[in-house]
Structure 1
């Protein structure tokens, strides 16, 4: 029996649970009211301690420019509302959203009524539901995203959920990934009618047909009963648009070949049919269901279904009470298979494609479980390498207390052939392999999306970096690699350390980290301190023989900058005691610098140079 036999397929159960709450019906009622009475605006309603905010699907929208889908970085919006979403590195694709939707959100956000509503929510509500239908839906999503970004750190702030109906896609894959990393996927629920064209629209390049579609929405949104006769009058246009969008939705399900779509789903998708509903949160499964259900529709149903959410919500809210079963003799082999069959019943998938959807649900289940299982395995592996790290800590302590007073860095750099030194070097190599493997798994999506934000691994990687990178630097200069490749920071630093810098930089700094130190740090807080020193030693050596005045001035300027940097580190006690050991490279460098300056004062050169920050003739 398959591995899934011991698990549950919850897509149909989750939809039934959501339908059993008043969230769907209350949200849709307010959306209908907003569509009818608040064009280009929103309405709010307080239900006990829950505040519902619904954005109208009737908006003055100019973002459907033919041939352009207008993705813009989210963090470039005015007022810095989404500045926290700025990418950490140049190699990362920025979080991007549709420019038209972002503009509509910002227009709503800057109104006095929206600001007043947020104030009332913070004062009176324990929960807030942002909701919207059609073009109003992405405004609701951005409102929820802003609310989570702005108030997530306040423990007393209301909980947030976003429920949309027939929402177009909002942003790129980086947006989806960022929401998963923040663990906000469960805050977003997108209700999709099985044939509705709007959630599929942005898979395709925009066409002139969309102008007709916008006119149709503005006409029928306040009065949905007009939709069927209107669609019949424009049958040719709707047929062309349906075939065009279907081709691109189908192409987006292929793993290879065509260019990947610009837009990507995020959060949970609740697919509604006449037989029930299913909830899916896996990107691949969402796209597959968007295609299969749309394929079974028609040009007219793709437009009409966009106005049928009231009917679907009413049906699923009643159908969760009904009992489902299986034909005798065709019983599923496991609870998981039973869940899959119930999901297929609720999704009204045609029998000739049900096998594809079943395989898709199973694959999504495996993909959902694997990162969590891998993360658990990494936790076990981390505990197994802890003794290696502890042995290096012991080695550092013994070096710092040694009679030769060289300290940790220089002792390893000038190590001999003892068993102890060999063992510490092997520990260094094994720890590097562990962290490189972990980063490889993270970059290939084998670990949880928020793995690199978990305090356990952020703190462990930072401690590893501060403890072991000085040894990597020592080995780099001991082996003479700086003569072959150049200095360590630019030419020898491993990628893992740069990644750990980003992890630590994204970590929120607490009060305990901003306090002044009363004793020297157990580990030097700049793991590249010794690499900077090695460059300064090189500059000092070159100064003795350099005859070019311009180059000499630059060298002395670099030496002066390093000296000031090191002095600040010592004054703030952000260095370990090994830095100040009598025979450490740093202490010897300071002495050499003093001697050179004294020599220059006694025997000034015949050309100007820089001494103590000033030009000396």
Structure 2
């Protein structure tokens, strides 16, 4: 059942006082800050350990869209290394205009200095923003998480936004959930607020009306002060264009978790350019009638953002649309009511929607049957992802890994490394090991394919149990795949194992492991496949002289030394009869005397 019998602040694990202060400072930032790139407000909470940083919004089109149609750019991995899919190596995209403002703020203001001081003082840092000020709050929070929390274990920050636009794509959202950072972001959205949906619309459709709308929301503008009637036609055009585009995006995304096989739906994005932006974090949907609910499933949030912003009827005219635009400026009353609620509803599972009181809450908020069915589908899709993970044949994986481990130990007792024994295929045990290898390869190929298709929960690649099992699998099995590759002479036709033959079932777990260990530079040659490099050097050395491959040899030796020092390279690799030992001892004497790994071998 839904976790709906606690107050909002209890559910968010954040005091109502802090949320209220975040909103107050966010609105003050609009009123008192000048250029957004170099100003913000900060305030320490009296008799508490929190400090709030609030950012102003922006009121010009070029501070929302850098270019058409949606103004997104690839994320800067030097600042945000986590914002990517690990196995697929796809990088997140972010709104360039918002990102540019964040970079300017970081470089030209005292923000970084003040945050550093707050960390040293062991303060709980809270970033906040209303409207597009929320975009800065979110980006600054991710920067803090990357710089302080993930690397140095600092206190987890919180981010509170009010009617903020979307800032990143589905990979951005995926990475936030994988790192378990979703709970850091709390996004309030009030009924009919169109601002969170604005980035789902291409600039070409709103470039004439957006300046008027931004003026309408700017606290310093005449539109904001007087709500001029001339805004009504622009409001109507803007509102309907945004809702139309939001409907297209929501429908397209919904087709994926509803299992649609319609060819037209599948090819839709080829003909209509859809916005890449997606939500992340926890969203709190509320109205002025003291009704609200929350969720953190990004697919369900996207559907709700659309249905929550729809006009009540198609007949509602320009003046109604104009009045509804004011929803972005009415968070104070809504927030006050929301924080006083003692029966806050939080949707986590599709089954939560079966409760009558929750159905009543959603109905009171204007979500019709179609909207609730979309929530069912989105939450059900997440349930299926969890089921997919639970159905992975872990018992078979463990059984086969135990069989390979025993095979390895038996080979070692015979003074033969299992890599070399497997290449020779002289015994029945070698055949049995091959059977286990093929079974494991099939299971892990399917796991990797499902990761690529997004059929597991977003946090799958970040879970310790899968990182550790994947690492164990890779280190134990890949040497046999390398041995099989060169035993069959596949390098003669296909080329190097490392370049042409290495399967994704090893690349993905290696990336998971390297990401978990905070490795900045990812290795193309790992401890599980370095014998492929040895085989290639042996092959190349037949056609060239030592000097031509010396640099390559020295680099490999340095890596081997690191693996030995970190105790990730097993001793069977340097048995007297092993491929590695025999190759190294065939190197020129002057090289061996200067080698960094000469102590690993008995010199003869």
Residue 495 of structure 2 is aligned to residue 486 of structure 1:
yes
Distance 1:11 1:98, change over 3 A: farther
Equivalent residue, structure 2, for 1:244: 241
Q: 1:409 aligns with which of 419, 426, 435?
A: 419
Partner-residue secondary structure (3-state), 1:152: helix
- Aligned residue pairs, count: 541
- Could you say which structure has the larger radius of gyration? 1
Assess if the C-alpha contact under 8 Å between 2:130 and 2:162 holds in 1: yes
Equivalent residue, structure 1, for 2:406: 394
User: Structure 1 CA distance, aligned partners of 2:279 and 2:454?
Assistant: 17
Assess if the C-alpha contact under 8 Å between 2:66 and 2:96 holds in 1: no
Cα deviation, 1:154-197, whole Å, max 9, x if unaligned, reads: 77733321111111111111111111111111111111122122
Partner-residue secondary structure (3-state), 1:75: coil
Q: 1:472 aligns with which of 481, 485, 499?
A: 481
Distance 1:20 1:365, change over 3 A: farther
Q: 2:166 aligns with which of 145, 150, 169?
A: 169
Partner-residue secondary structure (3-state), 1:159: coil
Assess if the C-alpha contact under 8 Å between 1:42 and 1:54 holds in 2: yes
Equivalent residue, structure 1, for 2:601: none
Distance 1:38 1:412, change over 3 A: same
Distance 1:376 1:334, change over 3 A: closer
Q: How does 1:268-417 map to 2 (within 5 A)?
A: 268-275=282-289, 276-296=291-311, 298-318=320-340, 320-321=341-342, 336-349=354-367, 354-378=368-392, 381-402=393-414, 405-416=415-426
User: Structure 2 CA distance, aligned partners of 1:390 and 1:322?
Assistant: 51
Equivalent residue, structure 2, for 1:505: 514
Partner-residue secondary structure (3-state), 2:251: coil
Assess if the C-alpha contact under 8 Å between 1:400 and 1:578 holds in 2: yes
Partner-residue secondary structure (3-state), 1:254: helix
Q: Where does the alignment leave 5 or more consecutive residues of structure 1 unmatched? A: 1-6, 325-332, 511-523, 544-551, 598-617
User: Structure 2 CA distance, aligned partners of 1:9 and 1:198?
Assistant: 28
- How many Å apart are 1:73 and its aligned residue? 2.5
- How many Å apart are 1:373 and its aligned residue? 4.0
User: Structure 1 CA distance, aligned partners of 2:5 and 2:453?
Assistant: 26
Assess if the C-alpha contact under 8 Å between 1:140 and 1:162 holds in 2: yes
- How many Å apart are 1:86 and its aligned residue? 6.6
Partner-residue secondary structure (3-state), 1:191: strand
Distance 1:509 1:177, change over 3 A: closer
Distance 1:503 1:97, change over 3 A: same
- How many Å apart are 1:398 and its aligned residue? 2.0
Assess if the C-alpha contact under 8 Å between 1:12 and 1:339 holds in 2: no
The RMSD of aligned alpha carbons is 3.4
Q: How does 1:451-470 map to 2 (within 5 A)?
A: 451-470=460-479
- How many Å apart are 1:250 and its aligned residue? 1.1
User: Structure 2 CA distance, aligned partners of 1:415 and 1:72?
Assistant: 52
Assess if the C-alpha contact under 8 Å between 1:75 and 1:86 holds in 2: no
Cα deviation, 1:297-319, whole Å, max 9, x if unaligned, reads: 5421332111111121133234x
Equivalent residue, structure 2, for 1:546: none
- How many Å apart are 1:594 and its aligned residue? 6.5
Residue 275 of structure 2 is aligned to residue 261 of structure 1:
yes
- How many Å apart are 1:139 and its aligned residue? 0.9
User: Structure 1 CA distance, aligned partners of 2:572 and 2:407?
Assistant: 12
Q: How does 1:122-161 map to 2 (within 5 A)?
A: 122-124=119-121, 126-153=123-150, 157-161=154-158
Assess if the C-alpha contact under 8 Å between 1:10 and 1:339 holds in 2: no
User: Structure 2 CA distance, aligned partners of 1:494 and 1:532?
Assistant: 15
Equivalent residue, structure 2, for 1:205: 202
Partner-residue secondary structure (3-state), 1:110: helix
User: Structure 2 CA distance, aligned partners of 1:565 and 1:509?
Assistant: 22
User: Structure 1 CA distance, aligned partners of 2:405 and 2:344?
Assistant: 63
User: Structure 1 CA distance, aligned partners of 2:400 and 2:284?
Assistant: 48
User: Structure 2 CA distance, aligned partners of 1:265 and 1:372?
Assistant: 20
Distance 1:477 1:104, change over 3 A: closer
Equivalent residue, structure 1, for 2:537: 536
Distance 1:160 1:480, change over 3 A: same
Partner-residue secondary structure (3-state), 1:279: strand
- How many Å apart are 1:110 and its aligned residue? 3.1
- How many Å apart are 1:145 and its aligned residue? 1.4
Partner-residue secondary structure (3-state), 1:168: coil
Partner-residue secondary structure (3-state), 1:131: strand
Q: 1:426 aligns with which of 427, 435, 439?
A: 435
Assess if the C-alpha contact under 8 Å between 2:170 and 2:277 holds in 1: yes
- How many Å apart are 1:474 and its aligned residue? 1.8
Residue 42 of structure 2 is aligned to residue 44 of structure 1:
yes
User: Structure 2 CA distance, aligned partners of 1:323 and 1:578?
Assistant: 60
Residue 246 of structure 2 is aligned to residue 226 of structure 1:
no
User: Structure 2 CA distance, aligned partners of 1:235 and 1:308?
Assistant: 18
User: Structure 2 CA distance, aligned partners of 1:566 and 1:305?
Assistant: 62
Partner-residue secondary structure (3-state), 1:57: coil
TM normalised by structure 2 equals 0.80
